[in-house]
């Protein structure tokens, strides 16, 4: 299913993104890996099996221009893109009373706007191909809110809503949308 397919992953420098890259490489995927932290991204590239076609891209998912540029570069470098995994994320642990507006904005910019930009940048490419899959990483916190995580909860519920809307809108186009709700993950 992944052999020779081009998979773009945001947040591939660590955690779920790195694990996905290593796993998909083992299934023959061609990988466009991005992260804000270039050093960690290069560690991921080194962790891939020999012979895997991959490329590293420094990417700030909270930047619309960066994400649209990333989509263009992936298509230019690989001549197609079959899957985008909008995985990059961040959080802040604080009660609503104590979290700052700036901390909320940072979480919204990465976890929600990063996904929206990823969808809007890659969807037209996939629709033109009549082939593709958009995978948005939500969280168990996108199903049930937890205390001291208001900003994170909001973004993950919104990612779920966006993806579920896309399920209906993409029917019959050859493009699918998938939302993933991981539980607790040992990641930075």
DSSP 8-state class, residue 4: T
Q: For residue 167, how many other CB atoms are within 10 A of its CB?
A: 12
* CA–CA distances in Å: residue 89 to residues 98, 154, 169: 21, 13, 25
Catalytic residue chosen out of the listed positions 70, 152, 154, 175: 152
Q: Which residue has the tokens 């773009």?
A: 8
Q: Phi and psi for 70 in degrees, rounded to 5?
A: -60, -45
Q: Is 152 a catalytic residue?
A: yes
> What is the spatial distance between Cα 141 and Cα 89, in angstroms, rounded to a whole number?
13
SS3 139: coil
Give catalytic residues, as residue numbers.
Answer: 152
């Amino acid at each position: 299913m992944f052999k020779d397919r081009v998979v773009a992953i945001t947040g591939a420098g660590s955690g779920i993104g790195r694990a996905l890259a290593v796993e998909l490489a083992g299934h023959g995927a061609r990988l466009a890996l991005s992260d804000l932290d270039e050093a960690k991204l290069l560690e991921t590239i080194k962790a891939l099996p020999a012979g895997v076609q991959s490329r590293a891209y420094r990417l700030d998912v909270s930047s619309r221009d960066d994400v649209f540029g990333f989509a263009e570069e992936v298509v230019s470098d690989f001549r197609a893109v079959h899957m985008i995994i909008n995985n990059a994320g961040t959080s802040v642990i604080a009660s609503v009373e104590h979290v700052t507006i700036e901390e909320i904005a940072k979480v919204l910019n990465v976890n929600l706007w990063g996904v929206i930009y990823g969808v809007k940048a890659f969807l037209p490419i996939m629709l033109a191909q009549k082939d593709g899959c958009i995978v948005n990483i939500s969280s168990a916190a996108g199903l049930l809110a937890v205390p001291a995580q208001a900003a994170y909860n909001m973004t993950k519920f919104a990612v779920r809503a966006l993806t579920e809307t896309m399920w209906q809108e993409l029917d019959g186009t050859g493009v699918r949308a998938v939302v993933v709700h991981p539980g607790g993950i040992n990641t930075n």
